[in-house]
Structure 1
């Protein structure tokens, strides 16, 4: 191996190592709970008392979206919210409300959400809420169940908690 290649390899290893160690240190045996035995921790809530007001905003957002109340949805979003879903991004409240929110509301209109797990953490003026759920809906006349994961980040503002970031991921349950 020549000196240039060895230097690049060492630099790359030095760059990647801290991230690998961090991921290893944070991984627990049950880190991929979706592969756990059926019935294991079917409904787990880990929400500290001081995070409850932010979690209530997350719930209000979900209910407003499912009922098609896009005014309330908009009121709960920060104007500069970043929403990531399925490899796409919407970079503002107005962009989301003008496009994807309409389709999300239509999908959720007849759906039933069953929260399986929720964790929230608060640090100062910021709270993040992670939710794993099942969405039961009808699509093209057939019952379907979607496994959904959602992360919302909220900041405390003079108007109360506002959602500044959402990341959604989902797949059809087998």
Structure 2
């Protein structure tokens, strides 16, 4: 009985913390989706993450240029890529499926980085990026709001991408 009471107290405490946290969060109308100066992304990238962030940028640049050799080099063999409810569970699976279509789409796309945050934890760095992708679809301009999370792992060969999660939606 004592353990049930302790459990209930913990649950109530967590609900109270969640409610207090939710109240302190800005509402959707006050949430800014773009930095004040469109040409200056908001960056929160500590010095200890800069080398990993440079690898993530190199990967994005290579993919947009169709340089699949560099894409392959920067992905860990066991990379997990999640996008649009789907998963690719290895470098070979990604290179054999979506990498080609991703490169084709990105080739004609301009990416405008809006925000980036990076943090380190041991031999891992995670990077969260928000961007606008400017493209054309059926001859008409298309602007997508895109989010990307990458986790990079330090290896004997340098930083390698162990996980990517991409999400996007049309800008209203």
Deviations 1:108-141 (A, max 9, x none): 0011100000000012210000000000111111
CA distance in 2, matches of 1:166, 1:16: 35
Secondary structure of the 1:36 match is coil
Secondary structure of the 2:25 match is coil
Is 1:125 the counterpart of 2:123? The answer is yes
Q: Is the 8 A contact 1:30 1:36 kept in 2?
A: no
CA distance in 1, matches of 2:11, 2:44: 34
Q: Which of 145, 148, 164 is 1:147 aligned to? A: 145
The alignment of Structure 1 onto Structure 2 pairs a total of residues equal to: 166
1:29 maps to: 25
2:109 maps to: 111
Structure 1, unaligned runs of 5 or more: 1-6
Secondary structure of the 1:66 match is helix
Q: CA RMSD in A?
A: 3.0
Judged with a 3 Å threshold, the aligned counterparts in structure 2 of structure 1 residues 75 and 12 are, in CA distance, closer, same or farther, namely farther
Judged with a 3 Å threshold, the aligned counterparts in structure 2 of structure 1 residues 99 and 33 are, in CA distance, closer, same or farther, namely farther
1:166 maps to: 164
1:3 maps to: none
Judged with a 3 Å threshold, the aligned counterparts in structure 2 of structure 1 residues 84 and 38 are, in CA distance, closer, same or farther, namely closer
Deviations 1:27-65 (A, max 9, x none): 963486994276547521000011000000000000000
TM value normalised by structure 2: 0.83
TM value normalised by structure 1: 0.82
2:89 maps to: 91
CA distance in 2, matches of 1:107, 1:95: 18
Q: Is the 8 A contact 1:155 1:164 kept in 2?
A: yes
Secondary structure of the 2:125 match is strand
- TM-superposed CA distance for 1:22, in Å, is 6.3
Q: Is the 8 A contact 1:85 1:167 kept in 2?
A: yes
CA distance in 2, matches of 1:30, 1:98: 42
